[in-house]
Amino acid sequence: MAAALRLLVVQETDWLQRGPHQQHHLFERLSLRGHTVVAVDFEMLYTPWPQAPLLAPRTEWQGVARALPAAHVRVVRPPTLRLPGIARLVSVGAFHRELQRLAAQLQPQVL
Q: What is the tens place of the pLDDT at every residue in 18-47?
A: 888 999 999 999 999 999 999 999 988 899
- pTM of the predicted structure, to 2 decimals: 0.92
Residue 107, pLDDT score: 98
Nearest to 80 by CA among 45, 47, 42, 106: 42
If phi > 0 it is left, if psi is from -120 to 50 it is alpha, else beta; for residue 5 that is: beta
The share of the chain scoring above pLDDT 70, in percent, equals: 99
Break the chain into its structural domains and give their ranges: 6-106
Contact 6, 102 (CB under 8 A): no
E-state strands within the chain: 6-10, 36-40, 55-56, 59-64, 73-77, 80-81
